[in-house]
Amino acid sequence: MQTITATNTEKTEKYPWSSHDSTWMLSLFGTAVGAGILFLPINAGLNGFWPLIALTLIVGPMTFFSHRALARFVLSSKKPGSNITEVVEEHFGKTAGKFITLLYFFAIFPIVLIYAVGITNTVDSFMVNQLGFSSIPRVVLSLMLILGMMSVMLAGEKLMLKATQFLVYPLVFILLFMSVYLIPEWNMSALQQTPSATGFISTLWISIPVLIFSFNHSPAISSFSMAQSRKYAKDAEQKTNQILFRTAGMLLGFVMFFVISCVLSLNPTELAEAKTQNLSVLSYLANKHESPFISILGPIVAFVAIVSSFFGHYLGAREGLNGIIVSQLESMERKVDIKKVNQFTVLFVIVTCWIVASINPSILGMIESLGGPVIALILFIMPMYAIKKVPAMQKYAGHKSNVFVTLMGMVAISAILYGFVSF
């Protein structure tokens, strides 16, 4: 795989690693580590240990190269500071720009809705089961939580980044603690299970979409790239490479250690049972061991992961919806008041999240099935297509990592679509 060239290294030395870089690395980490991590061990470990090792080897490069390509795409605009919807329109034209912006929005916004449902369920369950309180009416509880999360976003990017940083530190610590805590429960017999070649390949195929969903921080890439452009100007690309590389390494280390530790502490039958019961891995472990540590830390992990991931996904959903509205107003030759557009977007997100969280639908699997292919198209396929077709991106052509990203994107799309058709 590619490495950063000496020239790039020299450029980043002009700007040594700073608290700004650390804050964005943690924000991207928080965006990726959402509810998906609580189900990843079940999906990835269901068919044994060795396919999980293979997945661990490919997920780091897969995460870094795909998000780097998307960041490069955002930075390829002739107008510095353009967001992803503006760059898409610049490179592909208004009609294609509208379509891709619509896809971008529908890849991200359903996940925002799911997090609104998830945070309400998590807090309600914790209050009732761990604290012994009576349930607050769901309509009231969901509105309080959604307004609380949105108030942080409305306070500005700096406060959002600080809040994410504050949340991610305990999340990293708890993930590490849980991974180590489960070591005495490891069942090494899983290492003796050797899957058939067909079973091995099949497991890798159907697990790649789960990895993409669990490691995906593309909703924050546009805002992240714009922030680096403002701070580092011409050296923004080298800085985004550096920060994304460290983010991918952090995700690989903490998330996959957690996944492997969970898988080794459960056998395939138990993982299948957890999937049938639609439980997160921590909930299943808490029920199995009746551990006070897991019963307390489980909801905390879920709460912190969902809130931190909500922030990053909201940034992407806001950009997508704003892009759709602005494009439509311009096509109608109407004046664009960006302040009013932002106000509408905020109100739309609050109301829709509140309605969905109040109804409490069981739609996670369906959303993943519908949103997954679109995420793969935006994150893996579109930047590779741009390298072929967009002059500003052609300087990245000819690298082996492009083939790898394209292949992983096609595998992800085929696997998710197969699962959806089967469903």
pLDDT tens digits, residue range 86-109? 898 899 888 888 888 888 888 888
Looking at mean pLDDT, say which of 35-49, 170-184, 349-363, 396-410 comes out highest. Answer: 396-410
Q: Is the dihedral of CA 345, 348, 349, 350 positive or negative?
A: positive
Q: Which amino acid, one-letter code, is at 403?
A: V
Euclidean distance between CA atoms 343 and 171, whole angstroms? 32
Euclidean distance between CA atoms 138 and 144, whole angstroms? 10
Among 35-49, 214-228, 297-311, which stretch is predicted with the lowest mean pLDDT?
Answer: 35-49
- Cβ neighbours, 10 Å, residue 270: 16
Query: Would you place residue 168 in the very low, low, confident or very high pLDDT band (cuts 50, 70, 90)?
Result: confident
Under 8 Å CB-to-CB from 230, ≥6 apart: which residues? 81
Among 277-291, 313-327, 330-344, which stretch is predicted with the lowest mean pLDDT?
Answer: 277-291
Residue of higher predicted confidence among 266 and 14:
266
Q: Is the pLDDT of residue 169 over 50?
A: yes
Q: Is the pLDDT of residue 8 over 50?
A: no
Residue of higher predicted confidence among 303 and 383:
383
Mean pLDDT value across the chain: 82
Average pLDDT over every residue of 301-324: 85
Under 8 Å CB-to-CB from 126, ≥6 apart: which residues? 299, 303
Give the pLDDT confidence score for residue 118 in this predicted structure. 82
- Cβ neighbours, 10 Å, residue 365: 13
Q: Is residue 392 exposed (0-12), middle (13-18) or buried (19+ Cβ within 10 Å)?
A: middle
Task: Say how far residue 34 (Cα) sits from the centre of its chain.
Answer: 7
Query: Would you place residue 15 in the very low, low, confident or very high pLDDT band (cuts 50, 70, 90)?
Result: confident
> What DSSP designation does 126 have?
I
Cα dihedral 397/403/405/408 (nearest 10):
160
Q: Is the pLDDT of residue 240 over 90?
A: yes
Euclidean distance between CA atoms 192 and 6, whole angstroms? 44
Q: Is the pLDDT of residue 117 over 70?
A: yes
Q: Is the dihedral of CA 283, 285, 290, 296 positive or negative?
A: negative
Give the pLDDT confidence score for residue 423 in this predicted structure. 47
Q: Tell me which CATH homologous superfamily contains domain 34-422.
A: Amino acid/polyamine transporter I (1.20.1740.10)
Give the pLDDT confidence score for residue 114 in this predicted structure. 83
Query: Would you place residue 78 in the very low, low, confident or very high pLDDT band (cuts 50, 70, 90)?
Result: confident
Average pLDDT over every residue of 133-153: 91
Q: Which amino acid, one-letter code, is at 377?
A: L
Q: Is the pLDDT of residue 147 over 90?
A: yes
Structure tokens at 178: 């849980």
Contacts 24+ apart (CB under 8 A), 326-335: 326/85, 327/85, 327/89, 327/94, 327/97, 327/98, 327/101, 331/94
* CB-CB contact of 149 with 349 (8 Å): no
Query: Would you place residue 396 in the very low, low, confident or very high pLDDT band (cuts 50, 70, 90)?
Result: very high
Query: Domain map of the chain by residue range?
Result: 34-422
Q: Which amino acid, one-letter code, is at 279?
A: L
CA distances from 387 to 254, 312, 344 (A): 32, 26, 35
Among 20-29, 65-74, 149-158, 274-283, which stretch is predicted with the lowest mean pLDDT?
Answer: 274-283
Average pLDDT over every residue of 110-135: 84
Q: Is residue 291 exposed (0-12), middle (13-18) or buried (19+ Cβ within 10 Å)?
A: middle
Q: What is the pLDDT of residues 329-341, one digit of tens each?
A: 888 878 888 889 9
Euclidean distance between CA atoms 317 and 115, whole angstroms? 13
Average pLDDT over every residue of 380-394: 92
Query: Would you place residue 315 in the very low, low, confident or very high pLDDT band (cuts 50, 70, 90)?
Result: confident
Give the pLDDT confidence score for residue 278 in this predicted structure. 60
Phi, psi (5° rounding) for residue 291? -85, 125
Angle, vertex CA 287, rays to CA 301 and CA 266, nearest 5: 85
Q: Is the pLDDT of residue 4 over 60?
A: no
